[in-house]
Structure 1
Amino acid sequence: MIKAIVFDIGGVILDAHALIEDLQKWFKPKDNLIFWEELNLKLAPLCKGEGTLHKTMTEFAKEKNIKIPDSVLKELFLIEKKHLKFNNGVIELIKSLKENYRLGIISNTIEEHAIELRKLELFEYFELVILSHEIKMSKHELDIFQHLIKEMDLKPNEIVFIDDVQKYADNASSIGIHGICYKNIDQLKIDLVNLGLNV
């Protein structure tokens, strides 16, 4: 029986498109999904508290043969107020689920983003909030999901994890957690109902 539902933040609770659009203006990727996945991989060490955002974005631009002014690189991928928009229906779903299930967050974060996220008062809905840069683990590896299981004191199959990156949902699934790749609110509700949840 499902006892807990754990959400990613960017791309699931928050609409990541505004932030991605700023990056796309400079990088002009041929495939936005592949670009987002490549960027996620590049940010992996940063999400574990290693390195700096400026250095990481400078290296990423160099790898892509994109010339971006240093003044822009220093600001690129920083969260601004315009980026903090909730995905339609997700907060309402969270409030509804909270009545019957334990709720948590696992998010690949950097310190600069976490400061802005805390201002949203979003975390009040969740029993457990795991931010990668604080515990030096990331969703690229399985240890963060083992940490989740231990902290919630539940069996893997009693937990649902929702992420907009398929690899992270798959990582959770590989150790027995029910991983769902988020596309939109309607699809998410169907997937939750299929797992037997009251939505």
Structure 2
Amino acid sequence: MEELKHIKAILFDSGRVLNHPRTGHWFIPPNFFSYVDQEKFKLISQNKIEGALHKALQYMDNNPLIRNEAEEYQHFIHFYKIISIELASLELNREQIEGLAHDTVFNDDKFKFYEDVFKVIPELHNNYKLGVVSDTWPSLDRVFRNVGLRRYFSTFVMSSILGVVKPHELMFQTALTELSIKPEEALFVDDNIRNLEGARKLGIHTLGLLRDIESGTNSGHLCINNLRSLQQLLER
């Protein structure tokens, strides 16, 4: 793509682009059923579960500024306390709630990275400045460090540190400033069209990465389904 010839930096979303929840759900950590009775959980309707999660997420949305893992842990204690109230039949006690929060924050195994990440990201790092721009909490930084990927990203913008989420301009501008690049010198890769549109309004080039669909065009945005395809586009 001709417009990508002058790209100096690539900004990546994290969730569903570089990694995904190992259990298939962001708020069901790996040891969820060590603290929650699985048979009781199965008896609850999906609508009721989604309603409980929605209410707990409203609390997180209303308290967006979370600056470190200790604060993240306390917020998730409150998160699962709301779940326990809404899903009273689970009969969760304080110890179980704290266990769920601890597993959500401190268990690196909560995320699984896509296989192409470990090969392609180091290769891209040889030619471009790289950054992460993600709606997430502080523990993500630790997870990236412990799998050996953090060193490839010169900026690591997390929504909870700034207190805003994408597509807020501050998320993108922080990354651009830390990389010392202009918007037109950056490419932003995300799985959310709304976020891509927000970046595009700032003059940043955009690319959708939708792991579960065929490459093509979605809502006016070129979309691919793996990182190798990104490399191929940049090499054209």
Q: TM-score, normalised by structure 1?
A: 0.71
Map of 2:173 onto structure 1: 146
Map of 1:192 onto structure 2: 230
CA separation in 2, counterparts of 1:19 and 1:73? 20
Q: Is the 8 A contact 1:8 1:163 kept in 2?
A: yes
Summarize the Cα distance change of 1:94–1:12 in structure 2 as closer, same or farther, 3 Å threshold: same
CA separation in 1, counterparts of 2:129 and 2:55? 32
Amino acid at match of 1:187: N
Map of 1:33 onto structure 2: none
Between the two proteins, what is the percent identity of the paired residues?
A: 21
State how many pairs are aligned: 192
Summarize the Cα distance change of 1:137–1:190 in structure 2 as closer, same or farther, 3 Å threshold: same
Instruction: Specify which of 17, 21, 26 is matched with residue 12 of structure 1.
Output: 17
Instruction: Specify which of 15, 31, 48 is matched with residue 65 of structure 2.
Output: 48
In the TM superposition, residue 180 of structure 1 has moved relative to its aligned partner by 2.8
Amino acid at match of 1:53: F
Summarize the Cα distance change of 1:113–1:150 in structure 2 as closer, same or farther, 3 Å threshold: closer
Summarize the Cα distance change of 1:97–1:174 in structure 2 as closer, same or farther, 3 Å threshold: same
* More off after superposition, 67-76 vs 154-163: 67-76
Amino acid at match of 1:4: A
Amino acid at match of 1:198: E
Summarize the Cα distance change of 1:89–1:134 in structure 2 as closer, same or farther, 3 Å threshold: same
CA separation in 2, counterparts of 1:156 and 1:110? 25
Aligned Cα root-mean-square deviation (Å): 3.8
In the TM superposition, residue 112 of structure 1 has moved relative to its aligned partner by 4.2
In the TM superposition, residue 92 of structure 1 has moved relative to its aligned partner by 1.2
CA separation in 1, counterparts of 2:229 and 2:118? 17
Map of 1:133 onto structure 2: 160
Map of 2:207 onto structure 1: 180
What SS class does the counterpart of residue 97 from structure 1 fall into?
helix
Q: Which structure's CA Rg is the greater one?
A: 2
Instruction: Specify which of 61, 77, 85 is matched with residue 112 of structure 2.
Output: 85
CA separation in 2, counterparts of 1:145 and 1:21? 23
What SS class does the counterpart of residue 162 from structure 1 fall into?
strand
CA separation in 2, counterparts of 1:66 and 1:150? 44
Unaligned runs of 5+ in 1: 31-35
Q: TM-score, normalised by structure 2?
A: 0.62
* More off after superposition, 97-106 vs 145-154: 145-154
* More off after superposition, 14-23 vs 102-111: 14-23
CA separation in 2, counterparts of 1:55 and 1:81? 21
In the TM superposition, residue 184 of structure 1 has moved relative to its aligned partner by 2.2
Map of 2:8 onto structure 1: 3
Summarize the Cα distance change of 1:188–1:48 in structure 2 as closer, same or farther, 3 Å threshold: farther
In the TM superposition, residue 41 of structure 1 has moved relative to its aligned partner by 7.3
Unaligned runs of 5+ in 2: 1-5, 30-37, 48-52, 213-223
Offset from partner CA, 1:32-76 (integer Å, 9 cap, x none): xxxx999877644555328712223444x489x544525544315
Question: Are 1:94 and 2:132 an aligned pair?
Answer: no
